[in-house]
Amino acid sequence: MLELLIRSQCKIIVLNTIETERAIEYVKEQVGVLNKKLKESSRIEDLSEYQLKIWDAIDGLGNREYANYLDILRHIAEEEDEPTIYLLLNYHRFIREGLNVPAIISFIRKIANSSKFVHVILQGEFNLPPEISQYCQVIDIPLPSKTEIFDLLKEICKREELKVRKVLLEECAEYLSGLTLIEAQKMFEIAIVKGKGKIDPQLIQRLKAEKVKKEGLVEYIAPQETINDLGGLDNLRQWAIMVSKVFKNREQAIKKKVPVPKGMLLAGVPGTGKTLSCKILANLFQIPLLRVDIGKLFNSRLGETEANTRKVLKEIEAQAPAVVMIDEAEKAFSGLSSSDSSDAGTTARVISSFLYFMQENTAPLFFAFTVNNVLALPPELERRGRIDEIWFVDLPAPNERKEIARIHLRKVGEKPEIFDLDKIAEATKGFTGAEIETAIKQAKLKAFYEDRDMNDNDILEAIEETIPLSVSRKEEIEALREWGKTRARLANSSTTKKKSANKKVLLN
Ligand SMILES: Nc1ncnc2c1ncn2[C@@H]1O[C@H](COP(=O)(O)OP(=O)(O)O)[C@@H](O)[C@H]1O
Ligand SMILES: [Mg+2]
């Protein structure tokens, strides 16, 4: 990537990472490739090799040829004539603190517009002001692979003279993926100290979970729910089973040119099983679920949203294979109308980065967006071709309500056969799956309190006491269903299919 950018005469390149060592390694490797290619081609006669110069903002200050962060830029902009690539390490310190930014901008502009074979790579973790970013191409160094982490751990063990079995170390590397090498090293060393010299992968998993929770943008979930926990939604279910086959045999599918789906959007009434469906999907695919907290992402300090988005995407990529759930995605968009236009620009860019990432990345990832409020949905998300399928999850039909009641009766340890499921289905017209679940739990609670077995009446009473969303927020839900009818595929089982089995379906 870097080599390509330099060959296409891109002058200012930003390496977005705090890992100095990896940045140096990456740049050296890329410059090597570049110089090799230059030597082989005779197209540019006056250029056969670039030299690489490295300058570090942290220890370079005071004791180097260029005394400060402006001197070095000035030198590059005005004096350097040889084909040179400058790698300026930790440069974010100056741009972040806003130190004399106008001067930086002016030198950057000069370099960007120069016709000399001089390039600058800025390394650090940046939130670049637009005056600078317009001249830059940003490269994200991917997070280390599991093998790289494994090698690191092996080295640490050797240094500490610890004998650890390979499988154990592999397990540790698995848990430490998604971190930078420095972070992984620190966490592993803490684990060694805490474990008094013993390596315990469970401890590492806990440390990692704590860290992820604290930073809290991507949550790792190991879903327990299986397809048997989902009532109804037959169309979605069938599609999911089909996709899971493609996904599980991905290599083969790609070879046979089968289009491997990359994502879906579930829109619908709250409590109808959208989040549940995502968990089930991960279970079907037999891979973990990553939940992206999009609300938190957008609530981060101004200017951090885009840097955080890159961080999130990098972490997701490192955690592959996974189902990535962007739950209640509208939370990101809801603040839009009330805030100013620059904010809208950020949202659009973040959504585009997600969609672009979905299309471009080759890692085994499946994106599941869920939304409760489609009216806030940005058009980018809805546009066909980006997301493989847009589903509308409607209020359950009678046969679906029966299935949902059956599932939740079993969950509270009851035998569904002894209840009048038809009656329950009829009484819960307009209820969501979540509301049916709540009514059954309430009934169970009451029966327990009164020291007796639970019966139909307990459930019917609980239903009676419930005001479903479809009543309390009637207009909103109706607008949502109207949208669903015309703009999306219906996730629920088609009512016609089962009409002979249950005529009432048609009435609903
Ligand atoms: N179709 C369904 N089948 C079984 N349970 C359901 C269904 N829909 C909702 N539920 C119950 O309601 C809970 C909340 O549903 P959830 O998936 O969070 O809804 P949503 O994400 O659509 O708001 C689920 O955990 C589940 O217990
Ligand atoms: Mg949900």
Whether residue 437 is predicted with pLDDT greater than 80 in this model: the reply is yes
Domain positions in the chain are: 2-139, 146-215, 227-393, 398-507
Q: Is 272 exposed, middle or buried (0-12, 13-18, 19+ CB in 10 A)?
A: buried
Mean pLDDT over all residues of the chain? 84
Residue labelled with tokens 């016709």: 115
Rounded-to-integer distance, Cα 395 and Cα 393, Å: 7
Q: Which helix (H) or strand (E) holds 295?
A: helix 294-299
Task: Please name the residue whose Cα sits nearest to atom 11 of ligand 1.
Answer: 434
Average pLDDT over residues 128-150: 84
pLDDT of residue 213: 66
Question: Using an 8 Å Cβ cutoff, are 53 and 171 in contact?
Answer: no
Q: What is the mean pLDDT of residues 440-456?
A: 96
Q: What percent of the chain has pLDDT over 90?
A: 38
What is the token pair recorded at 367?
């994106």
- Per-residue confidence band for 381, with pLDDT thresholds at 50, 70 and 90: confident
| Strand partners of residue 391 | 266, 489
Give the ligand 1 atom nearest the CA of 269.
22
pLDDT band at 393 (very low <50, low <70, confident <90, very high): very high
* 8 A C-beta contact, residue 74 and residue 111: no
**Domain 398-507, CATH 1.10.150.120 — does that match?**
no
Say yes or no: CB of residue 263 within 6 Å of ligand 1: no
Per-residue confidence (pLDDT) for residue 334, from 0 to 100: 57
% of the chain exceeding 70 in pLDDT? 89
* Band (99; pLDDT cuts 50, 70, 90): low
Strand order in the sheet with 118-124: 51-56, 84-89, 118-124, 12-16, 136-139
Q: What is the mean pLDDT of residues 386-396?
A: 91
Architecture of domain 2-139: 3-Layer(aba) Sandwich (3.40)
Q: Give the pLDDT band of residue 451 (cuts 50, 70, 90).
A: very high
Is 227-393 the same fold as 2-139? yes
Residues whose Cβ atom is located within 5 A of ion ligand 2? 275
> Domain 227-393 in CATH: superfamily?
P-loop containing nucleotide triphosphate hydrolases (3.40.50.300)
pLDDT reported for residue 415:
96
pLDDT at 60: 56
492-495 long-range Cβ contacts below 8 angstroms, 24+ apart: 492/232, 492/233, 492/234, 492/235, 492/236, 492/393, 492/394, 492/396, 492/397, 492/400, 493/232, 493/233, 493/234, 493/235, 493/397, 493/399, 493/400, 494/234, 494/235, 495/397
Please determine, for residue 96, whether its predicted confidence score (pLDDT) is greater than 70: no
Determine the pLDDT at residue 301: 63
Using the predicted structure, report yes or no on whether residue 337 has a pLDDT greater than 70. Answer: no
Rounded average pLDDT over 299-310: 73
| Interatomic CA distance for residues 219 and 71, integer angstroms | 44
Q: How much is the pLDDT for 66?
A: 58
Ligand 1 atom having least distance to the Cα of 434: 12
What pLDDT was estimated at residue 191? 92
Among 91-105, 109-123, 388-402, the minimum mean pLDDT is found in 91-105
Tell whether ligand 1 has an atom less than 6 A from the beta carbon of residue 232.
yes
End-to-end CA, the chain: 57
327 CA → ligand 1 middle, Å: 13
* CB 263, CB 368: distance < 8 Å: yes
pLDDT in tens, 150-195: 999 999 999 988 888 999 999 899 888 878 888 899 999 999 999 8
From 33-47, 107-121, 149-163, 463-477, the region with the lowest mean pLDDT: 33-47
- CATH, domain range 146-215: 1.10.8
In contact, 303 and 130? CB cutoff 8 Å: no
Please give the single-letter amino acid code of residue 284: L
Q: How far is the CA of 267 from the centre of ligand 2 (A)?
A: 10
CA 272 to ligand 1 center in whole angstroms: 5
Q: What is the pLDDT of residues 195-246, one digit of tens each?
A: 888 888 888 888 887 776 666 688 888 788 999 999 999 999 999 999 999 9
**CA dist., res. 309 & res. 294, Å (int):** 9
Q: How far is the CA of 368 from the centre of ligand 2 (A)?
A: 12
Show the tokens assigned to 2: 């870097």
In angstroms, the CA 234 to CA 232 distance is 5
CB atoms within 10 A of CB 153: 23
Q: How confident is the model at residue 340 (pLDDT cuts 50, 70, 90)?
A: very low
pLDDT bin (cut points 50, 70, 90) of residue 355 is confident
Residue 341 has pLDDT above 60, yes or no: no
For the CA of 229, the nearest atom of ligand 1: 4
pLDDT digits 0-9 by tens, 45-57: 667 789 999 888 7
